Amino acid sequence: MFDDVHNIRDEPEVEFHMVVPEYSTYKDLHADQTIPAVTMERLQDFLSACYTNFNPKVADLYKGRYIQYVRTAVHENLVYVTSSVWAKMKKTVSYKVDASLTKDGVVSESQCECAAGQGPAAHCKHVITVLFALVAFCKDGELLTDLT
């Protein structure tokens, strides 16, 4: 918008929020469940599109069981993933992560509650940790989550 002397006024940015399925349709991800094949290559493609690379410290967060849970729901040809990830610096704070995947395992959208995680292509360490967990799950059939 312009004011009377044609100076640009700062407009507040509209915060992005993914449209996700009803929470009651999500189910815990477990070994008997199948999801699209999320591979390290697909994760790298997503990160490249965001002009970043995979940080090996994300694997440490996954192996350190910073993920509290992972749940999935299918809606309109997409698989939606919701998760909660502990903050690295303070394990009393957690962030909700959402992502959607195509049937080919391509990340369609993602978001996180943290300051760096605004979507639709959020690629903060919490989102990447969840996506890395999906890679591990597709490869090994196991998912490491918090033990509490």
Q: Where are the domains of the chain?
A: 26-140
Using 50, 70 and 90 to split pLDDT, how confident is the model at 12? very low
Is the predicted pLDDT of residue 91 greater than 90, yes or no? no
Q: Residue 6: pLDDT band by 50, 70, 90 thresholds?
A: low
- Predicted confidence band of residue 134 (pLDDT cuts 50, 70, 90): very high
Beta pairing partners, 70: 83
Residue with tokens 């360490």: 125
What does the block give as tokens for 116?
A: 């760096």
Cis peptide before 21 (omega within 30 of 0): no
Span 99-119, average pLDDT: 91
Contacts of 2 (CB under 8 A, 6+ apart): 8, 9
Report the relative pairing of strands 67-75 and 107-112 from DSSP bridges. unpaired
Segment 29-65, tens digit of pLDDT = 987 888 999 999 999 999 999 888 999 999 999 999 9
Q: Can you list the positions of beta strands (E) in the chain?
A: 27-28, 67-75, 78-86, 94-101, 107-112
When pLDDT is averaged across residues 72-98 and rounded to a whole number, the result is 92
The arithmetic mean of pLDDT across residues 93-117, rounded, is: 93
What's the chain's Rg over C-alpha atoms? Answer: 17
Percent of the chain with pLDDT over 90: 68
**Bridge partner residues of 38 (DSSP):** none
